[in-house]
Amino acid sequence: MKKQPLDRRSFLLKASSTAGVAAIGHTLPSPVSALGHDTKGTGYVYDALYEEHVIDDGHPESPDRLEEIRLSMKASGLNAKVTPSAPIEDPFPFIRRIHTQNHIDQVDQIPTTGAVAKQAVAGVLGAVKAVSEGEVRNAFCAIRPPGHHAHNSGREEGFCYYANVAVAARYAQLLGHAKILIIDWDYHHGNGTQDAFYNDGSVLFFSTHDSSAYPGTGDENYTGEGEGAGLNINVHLPCGATDADMIAAWDQMLIPAARAFGPDFILISAGFDSRQNDTLGCFDLTDWCFAEMTRKAMALADEFCEGRIVSALEGGYNVTGLASAVVNHVGTLLNHEVDIEWARTRYRAYNKAGMRDGLLHLPGVSWQNVDEVLVHDAAGRRVTRIPRRQIRGPIIDLRKRSMSPGLYITTVAYRGQSPQRYRYHVAQ
């Protein structure tokens, strides 16, 4: 019998527990190289529609996550190297292989969110199709909402609505790939994915997570049942887990199990809340670790399934850290060396308040103390006002405001602090 999940919102109010199994491994191995890559390249899924979904004002699973990824992909030059992947037209027949019709009907009725959640699945399935047909070697899906907590409740569970990766696994099987390896490196346990395949002998599920965090599942004693016995591998890592701990889990548990299983297709639930300094996680993983995990997954894919990997975004709530890790992940999928110093410089810069590319950045939790944002033109006339209730995260997009070319002054009014002012120039 599997442990029942707890409500995620209760976990957001608690500090992450440091109790649990001791960290494993203490020595970082040298980086591995991806093997024999051809020139098919890496697919990339992104749609502006994904940014229209909002759970609540100020909610950590915000559109700013994708906006920062978009900016970082552009600044790093990777957006010019990836190959856009088109979504499939109708994902519902495939969603029904995981979810009940009642769940689908209820989610589909949620204004805006229903359509976005459907399109997120369509995007991932489009990437699976492109990789399966050899259009690209692998793919990353910059999607939201995430999916690895979704069951059949008819509502949001842990920020998730449809089990994107679980649906993708069934879709890949329909395309002829019988044995699917799912790797979940999110800080939180992918209980929805686990439950979808707990008795299934055709899917190997490997999850590293903090089992003391939401949803309270992921006990290492739950290893699968029936035909799926031994194919559900949960690895609890304690708060503060390092790169060495994560890589040791891969080397000691995932890689031997994957080689014994022999996957035909690899899917990654790419949650970057396991990165250091995340607002909802307490691991200490660096960007190097995400690149190294990617290299190891690619080596497995080269060994068993002609390089076939599709990675789909799950968590990651420190938006600058999220974007930095994504750039390293995608750069590795491309077999392209990412300038680590560039990434660090960008990360430091984006953790400072200021105007960049028409975006007002209020890093950390400082945005939660903002009363209002005022924009005046060079003559001192007020052009726009953004009240507190409209400030939903650390990035405020002023490009959506109608402003003529010229110089503007943006004033950020904080509660109990002096206001901060920034210049913003709108080009011709």
Annotated catalytic sites, by residue? Answer: 149
Query: Phi first, then psi: what are they for 252, rounded to 5°?
Result: -85, -25
Amino acid at 299: A
Greatest CA separation found in the chain? 73
DSSP summary character for residue 324: H
Dihedral sign of CA atoms 387, 319, 196, 88 in order: positive
- CA 136/CA 123 separation, integer angstroms: 15
* Number of CB atoms found within 10 A of residue 369's CB: 14
- CA 57/CA 60 separation, integer angstroms: 9
DSSP H or E run through 121: helix 113-132
Q: Which two tokens stand for residue 280?
A: 């909802």
Cα separation values, 200 from 121, 232, 255, 399, 404, Å: 22, 9, 20, 48, 59
| Collapsed DSSP state (helix, strand, coil) of residue 376 | strand
- CA 338/CA 56 separation, integer angstroms: 35
**E strands in 330-378:** 354-356, 359-361, 370-377
- CA 326/CA 270 separation, integer angstroms: 9
Question: Can you tell me which residue has the tokens 């206001």?
Answer: 419
- CA 214/CA 49 separation, integer angstroms: 28
Q: 300 near 205, Cβ under 8 Å?
A: no
Query: Phi first, then psi: what are they for 75, rounded to 5°?
Result: -65, -35
Q: What is the CA radius of gyration of the chain?
A: 21
Q: 313 near 328, Cβ under 8 Å?
A: no
